[in-house]
């Protein structure tokens, strides 16, 4: 069955430090991959997406992610974290054909930023 795993439930980094959030997926074909961010009590905002082509994708707010097919991973990175990056981050995978369009999310990783 298709699944998305975010191994780290909670991560704490110091402001200015680098960040990497892990995401692994399970799917037989080429997945369509997304990273979303959620501020407390709010909906989700898209950070970046991967459909095909260059495996390193750039997103908003200085985030990037790299698709590694051999590792079934799509890890999110940021070189220098800002206090405003504290939020919950979700990795998601799109499955199915155009007329089903199922979108499955991981459990989320809560990022805390220390001053």
Partner 1 sequence: SQTIHQWPATLVQPVGSPLSLECTVEGTSNPNLYWYRQAAGRGLQLLFYSVGIGQISSEVPQNLSASRPQDRQFILSSKKLLLSDSGFYLCAWRGTSILTEAFFGQGTRLTVV
Residue ranges binding partner 1 (CB under 8 A): 6, 9, 32, 34, 36, 41-46, 49, 51, 90, 92, 94, 96-108
Of 15 and 32, which CB lies nearer to partner 1 in the complex structure?
Answer: 32
Tell me the closest approach of the beta carbon of residue 34 to partner 1, in angstroms. 6
**19-39: string of b/e by CB count within 10 Å (b at 16+)?**
bebbbbbebeeebbbbbbbee
The two tokens of residue 92 are 């998601």
Provide the minimum distance between the beta carbon of 44 and partner 1 in the complex, in angstroms, as a whole number.
4
Q: How far is the CB of 15 from partner 1 (least distance, A)?
A: 26
Minimum Å distance from CB 22 to partner 1?
14
Name which of 15 and 38 has its Cβ closer to partner 1: 38
Look up tokens 């980094």; give the residue. 13
Cα–Cα dist 56/10, whole Å: 24
Give bridge partners of residue 49 from the DSSP assignment.
34
Q: Which is closer to partner 1, CB of 9 or CB of 115?
A: 9
Cβ atoms of 16 and 62 within 8 Å: the answer is no
Q: Given the complex with partner 1, which of 16 and 96 has the nearer CB atom?
A: 96
Locus of tokens 């590792």? 71
């Amino acid at each position: 069955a298709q699944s998305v795993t975010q191994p780290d439930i909670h991560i704490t980094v110091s402001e200015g430090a680098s960040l990497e959030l892990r995401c692994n997926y399970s799917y037989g074909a080429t997945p369509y991959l997304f990273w979303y961010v959620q501020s407390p009590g709010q909906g989700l905002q898209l950070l970046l997406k991967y459909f095909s082509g260059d495996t390193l994708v750039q997103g908003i707010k200085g985030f990037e992610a790299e698709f590694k097919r051999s590792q079934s991973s799509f890890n999110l990175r940021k070189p220098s974290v800002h206090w405003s990056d504290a939020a919950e981050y979700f990795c998601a995978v799109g499955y199915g054909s155009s007329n089903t369009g199922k979108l499955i999310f991981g459990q989320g990783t809560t990022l805390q930023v220390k001053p």
